[in-house]
Amino acid sequence: MSAPRAASTVVLGLGNVIHSDDGAGVHAVQRLKETPDLPQDIDLIEGGTLGLSLLPYLWDAVRIVVLDAVDVGQPPGTIVRLSGDEIRSLRGSVSVHLVGLADLLGALQLVANPTQEITLLGVQPASTEWGTELSQEVQAAIPQLVRAARELLCRWSQPLEQAAG
């Protein structure tokens, strides 16, 4: 990972790639890196399980997209979107990383720009047991997760580009 720089939008892929579906966020951000025509001024970060050490990469961002495995009791492969108050009220019970994501978001509230827009795009895991392969359900959902992230990034970039033009 390179040194932090100020980007208006950061996409953060979270997860442990040796716990099967828990690595979905990292796999999704890797796939997003291969997506052509992403808007400018976006940092794509494979955050893995780095937790609070990711704070310097996020605190100057205007908008943050978190890609992660999210356990909300839905069928495996279900895409989940949380934003605004939904994500600010996380207490560690939704993300597979439990305290890690909740702590990171709590720290951001203390030190970051209070007008940050944060969206969590996740996928319901089938398994977070030891293994380096995604389940069939989550593997099939990764393109949909990447598409949702790309659509959000494109929508977010339009007002920024219009304001600059």
CATH number of the domain to which 107 belongs: 3.40.50.1450
- Total domains, the chain: 1
In a domain, 1, yes or no: no
Residue 3, domain member (yes or no)? no
Q: Residue 113: inside a domain, yes or no?
A: yes
Under 8 Å between Cβ of 11 and 42: yes
For residue 165, tell me if it sits in a domain: no
Note the pLDDT tens digit of each residue in 55-114: 888 888 889 999 999 988 999 999 999 987 787 666 554 454 544 676 777 777 776 666
pTM above 0.95, yes or no: no
Domain assignment of residue 27, given as a range:
9-159
Is 117 part of any domain?
yes
pLDDT of residue 1: 54
Residue 164: inside a domain, yes or no? no
